[in-house]
Structure 1
Amino acid sequence: MSVVAINMNTINHLSKTCKIPNLQSPICFDRKPFSYSLIPLFPKTLNGFSSYSSSVSRRSRFIIPKRRRFSVSMEWQDCSVKMEVDVPVSVAYNFYLDRESFPKWMPFISSVEVLKDKPDLSRWSLKYNAFGQDIKYSWLARNLQPTPNQKIHWRSLEGLPNKGSVRFFPKGPSSCIVELTVSYEVPAVLTPVASVLRPFLESLLRGGLERFAALAKTT
């Protein structure tokens, strides 16, 4: 450590120009090595002089990024089947409106319950054995505004994500074409698997429409 001495004439001059009280003895200043580690990152100013908060500087030295939530990208997969039904379009339309009769002709639907206080809502249960596994799902669906004798469509509100529509095209006075489309949501990474399963699902829907056509003729 070295010491630098300042004579009285310098002190008096500084006291007049910088308003430093007149001192009667020399002032000694210690010259210490400069250290960057002593300087905080965010100084605070107090009464014209710089003062520092060690707690702020310690916290500001380490910036920890927030964790991002992992989100799975989802995609809709469509299955469509079309079939001629030997009943007038109005008969087919009204028969399909009876949601609680679905278990009679759709093989994988085990039950449908229409809510009494909200008839546009219905609870669905799916139960099916495929590839040696029992598959069970349930969901709440809302029937959207239909187009009489032309279109019925729906969308799930909770449970298994799905949506779909059935369209009716008159072919003559006593027959019509029924086109059923069911869409379900799967993770994008499973899209190749869903594509492989599409023929199997389409065969289930086609089997359901065959039973639908047979029962519609008995109404």
Structure 2
Amino acid sequence: MSSVVGLCVSTSSPNKPISRNRNSVLITTDRLSPPSSPFIGRRRLIRSTNHRRNTTTTFKPPRRSTVIMEWQDCTVKMEIDVPISVAYNCYLDREAVPRWLPFISSVKILKDKPELSRWSLKYEAFGHDLQFSWLARNMQPIPNQKIHWRSLEGLPNRGAVRFFPKGSSSCLVELTVSYEVPQLLSPVASALQPFNENLMRRGLERFANYARTYQPDSA
């Protein structure tokens, strides 16, 4: 028996059993044609012993819908006629924040982890009674310069309050809040940013009045 490129060629008698490979093609002839003349000789019978078609299945994972949530940044600033140290210490008292921010209902510092605080928001707007909460990490502040935070769970948000001296008895307070637009409010996202900036501006006005009478042990 001789093999040529995966073909099994037999010159033995038809009555003699022939061992076949499953994937081979059997060529039976009484006389082989010379290598130089492959088309000379008797008719050859070619029979395939494997009729299975080789198929390749490509796995395509199901398409996942990608939802890109919109983030908005709101920044307001105001000059306040109190020393920068007073404004800084006043804003550092996080549990007193609901006294001037109308949409924040409560802020609680965790007793076992004072670097964490839990915030609650309750406000009626755009025909909805809005209620959200989040756990925030109070980042290391820079005295008389910056107070900042970021949420760890709940409503995604982050923010910073910056203080700039304007003299010995006044300072500029800049409040920046970035938040992910809740899905409930996505239809009114374009109106949400100016609405929140107006709320924050009103909050700074109330903060200015609060800071003028602020005492560290009165909060």
TM-score by length of 2: 0.71
Kindly provide the amino acid, as one letter, of the partner of residue 159 in structure 2. G
Is contact 1:127–1:134 with CA below 8 Å preserved after alignment?
yes
CA distance in structure 2 between the partners assigned to 1:135 and 1:199 by the alignment: 17
Aligned residue number for residue 11 of structure 1: 12
Q: CA deviation at 1:145?
A: 1.5
For the pair 1:158 / 2:159, whether they are aligned, the reply is no
The structure in which a higher percent of residues are helix is: 1
Q: 1:95 — aligned with what?
A: 90
Aligned residue number for residue 215 of structure 1: 210
In structure 1, the partner of 2:53 is: 40
- Separation in structure 2 between the aligned mates of residue 156 and residue 92 of structure 1, nearest angstrom: 23
Kindly provide the CA deviation profile for residues 90-125 of structure 1, in whole angstroms up to 9, marking residues without a partner as x: 000001011111111110000111011111110000
Q: CA distance change for structure 1 residues 160 and 187 in 2, over 3 Å: closer, same or farther?
A: closer
Which residue of the partner structure matches residue 132 of structure 1?
127
Aligned partner of 2:140 among 121, 145, 150: 145
Task: Tell me, in whole angstroms, the C-alpha distance in 1 between the residues paired with 2:87 and 2:123.
Answer: 26
Aligned counterpart, 1:4: none
Identity of aligned residues (%): 65
Tell me how far 1:63 sits from its aligned partner.
Answer: 3.9
Q: Quick one: distance in 2 between partners of 1:35 and 1:112?
A: 80
| Corresponding residue number in structure 1 for 2:106 | 111
Partner residue, 1:48: none
AA aligned to 2:73 is: D
- The equivalences for 1:81-92 within 5 A come to 81-92=76-87
Q: Deviations over 1:126-163 (max 9, x none)?
A: 00011332000000001112111001111001110101
1:170 to 165, 169, 182: 165
In 2, the alpha carbon distance for the partners of 1:130 and 1:19 equals 85
Q: Which runs of 5+ in 2 are unaligned?
A: 1-10, 21-44, 215-219
Q: Distance in 1 between matches of 2:72 and 2:136?
A: 18
Distance (Å, rounded) in 2 between the aligned partners of 1:110 and 1:32 = 88
Following superposition, the deviation at residue 198 of structure 1 comes to 1.4
After superposition, the Cα gap between the structure-2 partners of 1:131 and 1:187, relative to the gap in structure 1 and judged at 3 Å, is closer
Counterpart of 2:120, as a letter, is: S
Aligned residues: CA RMSD: 3.2
Task: Measure how far apart 1:65 and its partner are.
Answer: 1.7
Name the CA distance, whole Å, in 1 between partners of 2:97 and 2:204. Answer: 11
Secondary structure at 1:204's aligned position in 2? helix
Offset at residue 32 of structure 1 (A) = 8.9
Q: Which runs of 5+ in 1 are unaligned?
A: 1-9, 21-30, 42-56
- Whole-angstrom distance in 2 between the partners of 1:40 and 1:124: 65
The secondary structure found in structure 2 opposite 1:153 is strand
What SS is found at the alignment partner of 2:112?
Answer: coil
Change (3 A) 1:73 1:19: closer
Residue 199 (structure 2) pairs with residue 195 (structure 1): no
Change (3 A) 1:77 1:35: farther
Determine the C-alpha separation between the residues in 1 that align with 2:127 and 2:181.
21
Matches of 1:40 and 1:19, distance apart in 2: 22
Number of the residue aligned with 1:72? 67
TM-score (norm 1): 0.71
